[in-house]
Amino acid sequence: MRLASGQEVLVARVLTAEGIAGLGFSLRLDATEARHMAEWAAGARAEKPRLEPALGHAWETAYVSGAAIPWDSEPEFSRLKWLCA
């Protein structure tokens, strides 16, 4: 996905067998980083993955501080279409 700033971000979504969805992202376009973050958000990973902020983006700042990630701060995020609900 392209951020409003023009930077690209990789967004991952996992869905557990119980139907719990989790989201993750990587500004380094690292699929493993994004997937691990999404697994943690869905409760499928016990330890919160470490993240070294790359841009100081609102998503990074929130994740590192333990706050809710403001997904809606990026207009293009709402346009993503997921294969399963």
User: CB burial class (10 A; 0-12, 13-18, 19+) of residue 63?
Assistant: buried
| Tens-place pLDDT, residues 5-57 | 999 999 999 999 999 999 999 999 999 999 999 999 999 999 999 998 889 99
4 assigned to some structural domain:
no
5 assigned to some structural domain:
no
pTM: 0.92
59 assigned to some structural domain:
yes
Domain count, the chain: 1
Residue 9, pLDDT score: 97
71 assigned to some structural domain:
yes
- Produce one character per residue of 24-49: b if its CB has 16 or more CB atoms within 10 Å, e if not: bbbbeeeeebbbbbbbbbbebbeeeb
74 assigned to some structural domain:
yes
**Using 50, 70 and 90 to split pLDDT, how confident is the model at 82?**
confident
85 assigned to some structural domain:
no
Residue 83, pLDDT score: 76
CA angle 69, 71, 73 (to 5 degrees): 110
Range of the domain at 59: 10-79
C-alpha closest to that of 63 among 76, 50, 78 = 50
Place of tokens 């971000």: 9
